[in-house]
C-alpha cells in the first residue's frame, strides 16, 4: 500500500513539474526572442533542480522533524526551493501579462501591418495598369508624329527611356514604320515585366504576410516571439521591394511614401512590458503556489518516524543493531 501511495503522489508531482516546465519554457521563449534551445535548456535545468531538491528534502525529512527545522542545515533546501519558485513566478507573471494584456494588441498590430502590405501591392497594380495605358497612348502618339515629321526631338525621345525604340526602326523610312507593331513590341516587354513582378509580389509579399498574420491570429506561441521581430523587418523590406518594382514602370514611377511605426512591444523584457501593461500579480502567484504545493506532495506524504526524545531514538537504534525489535 505504501508503494502504491508513493507512486501515485510521485506521478502527481511529476505532472506538475511538467506543467511548470512548459510555463517556464513559454515565459523564457518571449524573453529570449523565440530562442527555443535556450528556453528549453533553462527550463529543464530549473525543473531538474526542483526534482533533486525535492529528493533531498524527502531524504532529510526525518532529521528535520526530529532535530527541528531551525537546527538542521537541510532546511536550506527549502530556501533553494523558494528561490527557484521566485524565478518561475517572474516567468509566470510575464507569460500571463502577454496572454491577458498584450495578445489583442499584438494581433491588431500584425493585422495592420499585413493590411499595409496588401494596400501597397494593390497600389502597385493600379499604378502599373495606369502607367502602361498612358505609356501606350504616348508611344503611339509620338511615333505617329515622328513618322510624319521626322523631328530630332521626337527621335531622341523615342530612342531613350522609357520608349527605347531601336535605331533600326528610327532610321527606317516613314512608310515602313508600323506604329501598331512597334508599340505592341515595346509594350509587351513592359507587360511581361509587370506580370513577373506581380507574381513575385504575390509570393514574396502577400503570401508571406498572410503566414505571418496567421501566427498571431491563431496565437502560435512557439513562433510568436521570433515572428514578431521578423515581421517588422519584413514589412520594411517588402515596402522597399514594392517601390523598387514601381521604379521599373515606364511612367509614373515615383516611390510610394509610407510611414512604418518603429515602436514595438518589449516582449523580451518583463520590466519594460510591465510599464506598458500592468501585470496581474495575484493570478500567477496563486498558480505558482498551487503548483508548488502539488510538486511537494511526495515530501508531505513521505512517512518518517517521529521520536519523542533523542534517548528513545538511541535505544531503538541500539536494539536494531543487535538484530532485535523494540515496542514503542
For range 190-218, the mean pLDDT = 96
Query: Percentage of residues in the chain with pLDDT exceeding 90?
Result: 73
pLDDT confidence band for 258 (50 / 70 / 90): confident
For range 89-110, the mean pLDDT = 96
pLDDT at 302: 84
For range 218-222, the mean pLDDT = 96
Q: For the CA atoms of 138, 142, 143, 144, what is the dihedral angle to 10 degrees?
A: 100
pLDDT at 311 over 70: no
For range 3-7, the mean pLDDT = 54
- pLDDT per residue as tens digits for the range 259-304: 888 889 999 999 999 999 999 999 999 999 999 999 999 988 888 7
CA distance 315 to 324: 11
Among 2-11, 15-24, 78-87, 255-264, top mean pLDDT goes to 15-24
C-alpha 49: how far from chain center: 28
pLDDT at 75: 77
- pLDDT per residue as tens digits for the range 126-175: 999 999 999 999 999 999 999 999 999 999 999 999 999 999 998 888 88
pLDDT at 60: 84
pLDDT at 304: 78
> Using an 8 Å Cβ cutoff, are 75 and 64 in contact?
yes
pLDDT at 308: 64
pLDDT: which is higher, 64 or 151:
151
CA distance 169 to 158: 10
pLDDT at 70: 72
pLDDT confidence band for 3 (50 / 70 / 90): very low
CA distance 153 to 155: 5
For range 211-238, the mean pLDDT = 95
Chain mean pLDDT for the chain: 89
Which DSSP category does 277 fall into? S
pLDDT at 64: 78
pLDDT at 73: 77
CA distance 19 to 288: 11
For range 92-116, the mean pLDDT = 96
Task: Please state the length of the chain.
Answer: 328
pTM recorded for the entire structure: 0.80
Q: Where are the alpha helices (DSSP H) in 32-164?
A: 36-59, 61-67, 76-97, 103-149, 152-159
pLDDT at 30 over 70: yes
CA distance 99 to 90: 14
For range 94-111, the mean pLDDT = 96
Phi, psi of 280 (to 5 degrees): -90, 105
DSSP line for 34-48: T-HHHHHHHHHHHHH
Amino acid at each position: 500500500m505504501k508503494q502504491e501511495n508513493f507512486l501515485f503522489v510521485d506521478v502527481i508531482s511529476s505532472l506538475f513539474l511538467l506543467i511548470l516546465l512548459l510555463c517556464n519554457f513559454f515565459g523564457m521563449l518571449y524573453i529570449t526572442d523565440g530562442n527555443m534551445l535556450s528556453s528549453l535548456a533553462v527550463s529543464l535545468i530549473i525543473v531538474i533542480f526542483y526534482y533533486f531538491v525535492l529528493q533531498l528534502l524527502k531524504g532529510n525529512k526525518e532529521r528535520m522533524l526530529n532535530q527541528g527545522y531551525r537546527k538542521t542545515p537541510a532546511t536550506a533546501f527549502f530556501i533553494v526551493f523558494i528561490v527557484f519558485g521566485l524565478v518561475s513566478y517572474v516567468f509566470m507573471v510575464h507569460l500571463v501579462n502577454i496572454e491577458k494584456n498584450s495578445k489583442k494588441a499584438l494581433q491588431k498590430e500584425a493585422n495592420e501591418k499585413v493590411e499595409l502590405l496588401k494596400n501597397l501591392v494593390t497600389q502597385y497594380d493600379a499604378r502599373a495598369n495606369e502607367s502602361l495605358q498612358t505609356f501606350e497612348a504616348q508611344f503611339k502618339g509620338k511615333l505617329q508624329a515622328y513618322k510624319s515629321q521626322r523631328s530630332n526631338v521626337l527621335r531622341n525621345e523615342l530612342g531613350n527611356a522609357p520608349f527605347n525604340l531601336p535605331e533600326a526602326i528610327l532610321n527606317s523610312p516613314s512608310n515602313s514604320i508600323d506604329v501598331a507593331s512597334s508599340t505592341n513590341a515595346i509594350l509587351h516587354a513592359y507587360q511581361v515585366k509587370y506580370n513577373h513582378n506581380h507574381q513575385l509580389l504575390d509570393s514574396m509579399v502577400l503570401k508571406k504576410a498572410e503566414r505571418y498574420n496567421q501566427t498571431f491570429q491563431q496565437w502560435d506561441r512557439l513562433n510568436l516571439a521570433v515572428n514578431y521581430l521578423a515581421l517588422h523587418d519584413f514589412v520594411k523590406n517588402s515596402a522597399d521591394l514594392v517601390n523598387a518594382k514601381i521604379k521599373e514602370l515606364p511612367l509614373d514611377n515615383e516611390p510610394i511614401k509610407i510611414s512604418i511605426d518603429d515602436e514595438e512591444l518589449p516582449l523580451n523584457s518583463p520590466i519594460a512590458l510591465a510599464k506598458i501593461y500592468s501585470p496581474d500579480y495575484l493570478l500567477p502567484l496563486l498558480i505558482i503556489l498551487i503548483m508548488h504545493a502539488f510538486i511537494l506532495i511526495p515530501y508531505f506524504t513521505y512517512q518518517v518516524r517521529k521520536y519523542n526524545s533523542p534517548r528513545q531514538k538511541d535505544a531503538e537504534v541500539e536494539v536494531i543493531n543487535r538484530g532485535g525489535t523494540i515496542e514503542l
